[in-house]
Amino acid sequence: MPKRRRAALLPNNIALLQNLVRRDPGSYKEEFLVQYRHYATQKEILVTNPSGFHDTDAFLDQIGFIAQVCTCYPSDTKAFPEDLAELLSKHHTVLPVELREKIVQSLMLLRNRGVITSERLIQIIFPLLTTTNSKTFRKDIYTTLVRLLKHANRNAKAPKLNRSVQTLLFTLLESSDGVAAAPDGLWAAKLTRELWRRSIWDDPRTAEIMKQAALHGNTKVVIAGVSFFLGVDREREKATRKKRGLDDDDDSSDDSASSDDGEGGKPQIAGIKHRMGINKKSGKRARKLEAAMRALKKKEKGAGLPTQLNFAAIHLLHDPQGFADRLFSQTLSRSSGNKFTLEQRIQILNLVSRLIGVHKLSVLGFYSYLLKYLTPKQRNVTQFMAAAAQSSHDLVPPDALSPVIRKIADEFVSDGVAAEVAAAGLNTIREILTRNPLAIEADLLQDLTEYKGSKSKSVMMAARSLIGLYRGVAPEMLARKDRGKIASMEMNAAAAAGQAKKLQYGVENVVEGIPGLELLERWRKEQGLDNDDEDAAAKEAKDDDDAWNIDMSDSEESDNGWIDVESDKEYDVSDDGAGRPEDDESDEDDDSDDSDKEPDAEEQLPDAKRAKTENVVQNLMATKILAPADFQKLDELRTKAGLDKILHGGQSAAAGRHQDSVDAISLLGSKTGKADKEERMAAVMEGRQDRQFGSKKGKKDSQPHSTTNKEKARKKNFIMMIHKRDVQGKNKKSLRDKQKSLRAHIDKQKKSKRKH
């Protein structure tokens, strides 16, 4: 019975057959095989004359059908994927567009069904990316590849696939090296960049691929690689932030008003606050502000969260020294000729300088290379100056850096140059010296600081910032009058103690002790908390217990990082802490460093008292463990003593500076003084954009309108007017009044004449 019913369903179109095969693969095997054979003959026809193939639609259906159902007959359709691959690879240039697309789609389908592996699919379609001459097809393949990798890495990373694709890209880059036009390499770089941007790939191997690209023989590929290292992290961050912003919107629709535009949170809150000040106060408005504040806080928290493995590509490099050396020698040195334009060279220069700065490399040729470009006449000189600043760090030999500083000082900071030039030069020198204070001699420094009296504000400020820098780092290099009160008192104290500090090359700045600890100690004494007796230990433990569990919820810093520690475990830790006297000794060696940071507190103290304080501090460090509450108190005390300001300047701030990038525009200094005519006009024109000017009367006259009262009065019959007071009065006017009105009339006439 069921047989007959099936006979009624004899398929005569392919969609029906597909449906039937799906439901009952066994019974419809014959039909499928007939169709498969039909496909085979069609393919043969296609292969005999690929460009003149007419029956495309039917063939499309056939391919789609077989791709859909081939999982039902795996043994019969074993050759199908390879057939498609061969068709595509051999005839993709002449195949009809829709057929080409269908084949790619079918291959994708086969991969989804697990008939072919992702690796195989990539092997099939990747070569087409570079060989096809159709733009749309290329785009298709590119998106297919990206989607494929995204899909594979969706739930968990697919290391095997990633590695194989990365190897493929790597070999593509390697093999295309030295070829004049290297589309392979370019596409490899583009794909890698896209995958990095989407955070699909974030491992060192990706960075290695791009490193290979940056060292490629082809200019375009090199620039792709270089710009990857320079900008792509920012790009990725933006992408993830955007995504997160969208997620926020999904989560809570109530605060979407403030979070819908990426960085617009703050101004909006400012706007709401402003409106609160002006408008009538109501509960609703207050709630609105509260909600906005909450949203902002949430967003800030989110921004601070580390994204999943957000290592900058530069940090993931295996051999940064080798990379920087090769990049410099291959692309920038004279032997490579002028393969690159100035903009490209600046980009590469920027990357090399970032590499040197971030990893503290030594590429000594780089500084002498820069010398050539450091003249005010050089195009884009600020970029070169920024590169010079970025490439300096405290491990560069001063001998290598000082010529750069000398050159900048000679070329930029002299009497004959414009104020902006001098300011840029001084700012650059300051940036370099922040990173490596030893790179300048005292004489030159003192020459430069003379510009503090410059009439130009930007120059003056730049010179002052230089002075401020050296007050913290090495006041002895400054002229006596520039040192300032605090620094010179400190110097005197150090000299009296016989420990005159001197900057030394290669000595790293080590942190000893906790700044401002003696304040805490003193405070404890005042409060009567500090008793070293053993029998008070129990009480102290109780105190400490409270101290560990302070409520931090109201403080700005979130307490994510804190783990509650049991009170009994605390004693174990304190045993470890007791073994710290070595630290104390080293402390005594370089305590000038220490005192450098806390001069404000110590300046009033005589030497003997000071030594005592140090002892007390060390005592405290050796015997006590500071609880969060103590740190909170310490913060408070420090703020009260005004220490924070000093702490944030000077050397401690310079410690991490070598990793920062330098903004070329910031080197020019703040724009001060009067705006010139052009700028003023620009501002004026901007304000005028949608306003209309000219007299109202002129506009009115130009348009058709009814007769005005004035016109009517003028045209009125004289006889009707003669006895009116207006006219009669004219005769009765005094001579003075007549004179007045005549004068007014004449003036008016003259004015109107002047207008025309």
Determine if 745 is a binding residue for other proteins (CB under 8 A). no
Structure token digits, residue 251: 């989560």
Among 1, 23, 48, 676, binds other proteins (CB under 8 A): 48
Q: How far is the CB of 32 from other proteins (least distance, A)?
A: 10
Determine if 75 is a binding residue for other proteins (CB under 8 A). yes
Determine if 29 is a binding residue for other proteins (CB under 8 A). yes
Restricted to residues 184-243, the positions that interact with other proteins (CB under 8 A) are none
> Is residue 123 within a helix (H) or strand (E), and if so which, with residue range?
helix 118-131
Q: How far is the CB of 141 from other proteins (least distance, A)?
A: 23
Determine if 34 is a binding residue for other proteins (CB under 8 A). yes
Minimum CB distance to other proteins smaller for 61 or for 235: 61
Stretch that binds other proteins, among 22-30, 122-130, 206-214, 269-277 (CB under 8 A): 22-30
What phi and psi values does residue 373 have, to the nearest 5 degrees?
-90, -10
Determine if 73 is a binding residue for other proteins (CB under 8 A). yes
Structure token digits, residue 425: 């030069």
Interhelix angle 97-112/56-69, nearest 10 degrees: 0
Determine if 10 is a binding residue for other proteins (CB under 8 A). yes
Determine if 4 is a binding residue for other proteins (CB under 8 A). yes
Determine if 33 is a binding residue for other proteins (CB under 8 A). yes
Structure token digits, residue 367: 């500084």
Strands (DSSP E) contained in 211-368 are none
Determine if 51 is a binding residue for other proteins (CB under 8 A). no
CA angle 494, 497, 500 (to 5 degrees): 40
What phi and psi values does residue 201 have, to the nearest 5 degrees?
-110, 130
Minimum CB distance to other proteins smaller for 17 or for 426: 17
Residue pair 621/580 in contact (Cβ under 8 Å)? The answer is yes
Q: How far is the CB of 29 from other proteins (least distance, A)?
A: 5
Among 47, 269, 371, 491, binds other proteins (CB under 8 A): 47
Determine if 28 is a binding residue for other proteins (CB under 8 A). yes
Minimum CB distance to other proteins smaller for 84 or for 316: 84
Q: How far is the CB of 79 from other proteins (least distance, A)?
A: 6
Determine if 89 is a binding residue for other proteins (CB under 8 A). no
Determine if 90 is a binding residue for other proteins (CB under 8 A). yes
Determine if 27 is a binding residue for other proteins (CB under 8 A). yes
Cα maximum dimension of the chain: 130
Among 68, 76, 134, 375, binds other proteins (CB under 8 A): 76
Q: Which residues contact 38 (CB under 8 A, 6 or more apart)?
A: 62
Determine if 11 is a binding residue for other proteins (CB under 8 A). yes
CA angle 279, 285, 290 (to 5 degrees): 130
Restricted to residues 297-336, the positions that interact with other proteins (CB under 8 A) are none
Give the separation between CA 352 and CA 38, rounded to whole angstroms: 61
Structure token digits, residue 650: 């000077």
Q: How far is the CB of 41 from other proteins (least distance, A)?
A: 4
Residue pair 161/152 in contact (Cβ under 8 Å)? The answer is yes
Determine if 79 is a binding residue for other proteins (CB under 8 A). yes
> Roughly how many angstroms between the first and final C-alpha of the chain, as a whole number?
106
Residue pair 287/315 in contact (Cβ under 8 Å)? The answer is no
Determine if 52 is a binding residue for other proteins (CB under 8 A). yes
Q: How far is the CB of 3 from other proteins (least distance, A)?
A: 6
Stretch that binds other proteins, among 33-41, 147-155, 666-674, 678-686 (CB under 8 A): 33-41
Stretch that binds other proteins, among 34-42, 519-527, 534-542, 719-727 (CB under 8 A): 34-42
What one-character DSSP code corresponds to residue 155? S
Among 13, 133, 253, 706, binds other proteins (CB under 8 A): 13
Reported for 611-620, long-range contacts at CB under 8 A and 24+ positions apart, including other chains, are 613/518, 614/518, 614/587, 614/588, 616/518, 616/521, 617/513, 617/517, 617/518, 617/521, 618/513, 618/584, 618/587, 620/517, 620/520, 620/521
Q: How far is the CB of 65 from other proteins (least distance, A)?
A: 10
Residue whose entry in the numeric block shows the structure tokens 């968990």? 156
Residue pair 430/465 in contact (Cβ under 8 Å)? The answer is yes
Determine if 45 is a binding residue for other proteins (CB under 8 A). yes
Among 30, 533, 556, 726, binds other proteins (CB under 8 A): 30
Determine if 160 is a binding residue for other proteins (CB under 8 A). no
Stretch that binds other proteins, among 39-47, 461-469, 635-643, 691-699 (CB under 8 A): 39-47
Determine if 49 is a binding residue for other proteins (CB under 8 A). yes
Determine if 710 is a binding residue for other proteins (CB under 8 A). no
Output the DSSP codes for 510-567.
---S-TTHHHHHHHHHHHT-----GGGHHHHHHHHHHHHT---TTSSS--TT-----H
Minimum CB distance to other proteins smaller for 47 or for 179: 47
Stretch that binds other proteins, among 76-84, 192-200, 446-454, 724-732 (CB under 8 A): 76-84
Determine if 738 is a binding residue for other proteins (CB under 8 A). no
Q: Which residues contact 699 (CB under 8 A, 6 or more apart)?
A: none
Stretch that binds other proteins, among 28-36, 128-136, 285-293, 736-744 (CB under 8 A): 28-36
Q: Is 363 helix (H, G, I), strand (E, B) or coil?
A: coil
Residue whose entry in the numeric block shows the structure tokens 């990049």? 327
- Alpha helix stretches (DSSP H) within 77-117: 80-91, 97-112
Determine if 74 is a binding residue for other proteins (CB under 8 A). yes
Q: How far is the CB of 715 from other proteins (least distance, A)?
A: 11
Q: How far is the CB of 28 from other proteins (least distance, A)?
A: 7
Residue pair 28/20 in contact (Cβ under 8 Å)? The answer is yes
- Whole-Å CA distances, 383 to 328, 348, 380: 17, 11, 6
- Whole-Å CA distances, 22 to 17, 30, 68, 242, 403: 8, 14, 9, 43, 79
Among 1, 26, 715, 735, binds other proteins (CB under 8 A): 26
Determine if 37 is a binding residue for other proteins (CB under 8 A). yes
Q: How far is the CB of 115 from other proteins (least distance, A)?
A: 15
Minimum CB distance to other proteins smaller for 31 or for 235: 31
Give the separation between CA 470 and CA 264, rounded to whole angstroms: 39
Determine if 156 is a binding residue for other proteins (CB under 8 A). no
Minimum CB distance to other proteins smaller for 58 or for 682: 58
Residue pair 358/659 in contact (Cβ under 8 Å)? The answer is yes
Stretch that binds other proteins, among 7-15, 169-177, 405-413, 604-612 (CB under 8 A): 7-15
Q: How far is the CB of 99 from other proteins (least distance, A)?
A: 16
Q: How far is the CB of 671 from other proteins (least distance, A)?
A: 54
Determine if 38 is a binding residue for other proteins (CB under 8 A). yes
What phi and psi values does residue 455 have, to the nearest 5 degrees?
-75, -30
Q: Interface residues with other proteins (CB under 8 A)?
A: 3-4, 6-7, 10-14, 17, 25-31, 33-35, 37-38, 40-45, 47-49, 52, 54-55, 73-76, 79, 83, 90
